[in-house]
Chain A
Amino acid sequence: MSRLAERFRQLRGRGRTALIPFITAGDPHPDLTVRLMHGLVAAGADVVELGVPFSDPIGDGPVIQQACERALRHNVSLRDVLTMVQRFREDDPDTPVVLMGYMNPVELMGYAEFATRARDSGVDGVLTVDMPPEEMGELAASLAAAALDSVFLVSPTTTEERMQAICAKAGGFIYYVSLKGVTGAANLDVDAVGARVARLHGMTGLPVGVGFGISDAATAARMAAVADAVVVGSALVRRIEANQEDLDAAQEAVTALVAEMRQAMDADAPASVE
């Protein structure tokens, strides 16, 4: 069983919604990333989503764009990101790591080489924001050959038909984009999200995570009630941005918010089922 599947199985048993923090690798400095990943886990993360910096992140809002720019100032490459995961794995063999990024660095490395290196580094899932399932054939085959899960986005504009097709190809979990917009936007409608998540649950046995625009503990808790996982990105990255000159302070500010979200999600959760 993949590390992601195993993790979600455990969580289900405990009646706990997964908390998946997102940070951009190398932001604000490559020295912080591995330490911060461990900090996220200690603060209550169940899965870590690690952004691969890209110069032209069209699916992201200004907060994550700037995180990419900060990381790229230190020339953080896809290879570097894989090395960071490898170092993280030395001390944490259990927490799944999902890479989130854009196609071009992967194109250049080559699909097969990327998949092998990612697996060897301890990556569990891969989400390429600008790679829809229709174009995914060869990459999907390479990822599958390396036993990596292909994580896909489903958005409010995704048709039923596409939802079916995506569910059929997805692994790990489905990432439902909770709003029409880029990361960091602020127009969430919890009821609408709940209805779409329920629809997805009717189509797949995979867990459904919800992300984009979840910026505080209260919202995380409300989303946790309707989804299997809550993904938080821009809210954490904003705290990194505010503390970019002081790595300790950045670590402290980010993990504090994760802990707060964890607490709010668990407080609202129904007592352990089963």
Chain B
Amino acid sequence: MSKTSEAMQQPVDFARFPDERGHFGRYGGQFVPETLMAPLRELQDAYARYRDDPEFVAEFQSDCRDFVGRPSPLYRAERWTRKLGGARIYLKREDLNHTGAHKINNTIGQALLAKRMGKTRVIAETGAGQHGVASATVAARLGLECVVYMGAEDIQRQSPNVFRMRLLGAKVVPVNSGSRTLKDALNEAMRDWVANVDDTFYIIGTVAGPHPYPMMVRDFQSIIGRETRQQMLDVEGRLPDALVACVGGGSNAIGLFHPFLADADVALYGVEAGGYGIASGQHAAPLCAGRPGVLHGNRTYLMENDDGQIIGTHSVSAGLDYPGVGPEHSWLKDIQRAVYTSVTDDEALRAFHELTRTEGIIPALETAHGLAYAGKLAVELGPGKTIVVNLSGRGDKDIQTVAEREGIEL
């Protein structure tokens, strides 16, 4: 923690990022085919107009309260803390949100914007299916047509969510190109958008993509961190010592971190998917083991080969199985405001079981990565310190995967 704050030469005014064209230092930006420049401009203008519009803000807040069930509780994990014998662990219960993950916060915001922009059709990409379900949900509620792109491999491993989306009236389109996972779903959604810019709003599910998405999604998800801040002040009378979140594209992490960026004493830990281990090359940890490059409209850390081709990733959790990461995280890594680390599939699975058995909460496999690291960190920090883990989603969608891995037939 002190390492992080010492490394920062002078205070950064985090509110000034990104710049007007979406840059976080050298990261971010707008790297898209020309056809998308106009709709991005339109989106930027609309967001600038409504971002602080009292009516828009009020509608977002009341939807978050009445439809999502916010504020989500900050739960003190007593038994787990005692078992570990280290820092006190709090769980920010995004799993209790309507649809079961943090993803809904963002889709509420973007759908309200889509409606104000007069768009009648929304599209989304999804990995674990949580963002797809959240998009289908808000589309159903607002009466918008919804198409969700999902890698064929993810359709296999997240089938309950596929059915949920269909129940909600969304069309789920399997993507068979490339690695048939999240990155390819994003490619396909971009292509759809290029072809249908007039009536279509693209709801990106994480803090990736071209500007203004990384900023806009961050803003909508920052409700997580703002609530956490207040809740910690209420129960502990002070800010936490550390925040921990899993990082796929990075939306639940940035949502938790962002309101704390200026608090140099709050250490920030983003946990990537280590798959079979970083040394194996079979992982999804661009911040830990990648290089900066350009993918999906922004400059950021990526997993690529020596020719600049994006390489296949591996994670037991579909929602983390992505070769890029939101550009703000790349910047926070370089300026050493946040620390990025990884845990393996096996460690995540152990944490999945541990939380389930000690606290009676079945976490998503994505979330289990954050939990696995938080367990280690709690021991390292020791008693007297506090950690908040973003419990980004619930694990119902993953029980099939867990059963299969453990040779259990349901």
Contacts and interface: CB of A to CB of B under 8 A. Distances in A.
Interface of A: 53-62, 65-66, 69, 72, 75, 77-79, 102-109, 129-132, 134-135, 152-159, 162, 177, 180-182, 185
A4 to B, nearest CB: 20
10 contacts: A58-B191, A62-B177, A107-B299, A108-B308, A130-B32, A130-B33, A153-B33, A155-B34, A157-B39, A181-B35
Contact of A103 (B31, B36, B194, B197): B31
Contacts of A135: 21, 29-31
The residue in B21, B37, B41, B311 that gathers the most chain A C-beta atoms within 10 A of its C-beta is B37
B194 to A, nearest CB: 6
B156 interface: no
Top 3 A-B pairs ranked by shortest CB distance?
A105-B308, A77-B307, A157-B38
For chain B, the bracket of interface size reads 35 or more
Interface stretch (B53-61, B225-233, B287-295, B341-349): B287-295
A56 B307 contact: no
Interface string B9-22: 00000000000010
Contacts of A58: 32-33, 187, 190-191, 194, 296
Most buried by A among B32, B183, B194: B194
B215 to A, nearest CB: 16
A269 to B, nearest CB: 29
A69 B292 CA distance: 23
A55 B29 contact: no
Interface string B32-70: 111111110100000000000000000000000000000
B195 A56 contact: no
Interface of B: 21, 29-39, 41, 177-178, 183-184, 187, 190-191, 194-198, 291-297, 299, 302, 304, 306-311
B294 A103 contact: yes
Nearest to A176: B34
Contact of B33 (A53, A59, A65): A59
A157 B310 contact: no
A69 B178 contact: yes
* Residue from B38, B39, B184 having most chain A Cβ neighbours under 10 A: B38
Contact of B34 (A60, A61, A104, A158): A158
Contacts of B187: 56-58
Given A108-B307, A108-B308, A132 B194 contact: no
Contacts of B31: 103, 130-132, 135
Contact of B310 (A55, A153, A155, A159): A55
A78 B295 CA distance: 17
A177 B295 contact: no
Contacts of B190: 58
Given A55-B178, A56-B187, A135-B30, 16 more contacts: A58-B32, A58-B33, A62-B177, A65-B177, A72-B309, A75-B307, A77-B308, A103-B31, A104-B302, A108-B293, A134-B30, A155-B34, A157-B37, A162-B37, A180-B194, A180-B198
A132 to B, nearest CB: 6
Contacts of A180: 35, 194-198
B34 A132 contact: yes
B37 A104 contact: no
A181 B191 CA distance: 7
A109 B294 CA distance: 12
Contacts of A153: 33-35
B45 to A, nearest CB: 12
Contact of A104 (B35, B39, B195, B308): B308
A202 B308 CA distance: 39
Nearest to A132: B37
A78 B310 contact: no
A154 B306 CA distance: 31
A104 B33 contact: no
Contacts of A185: 195
A56 B197 contact: no
A130 B308 CA distance: 14
A132 B178 contact: no
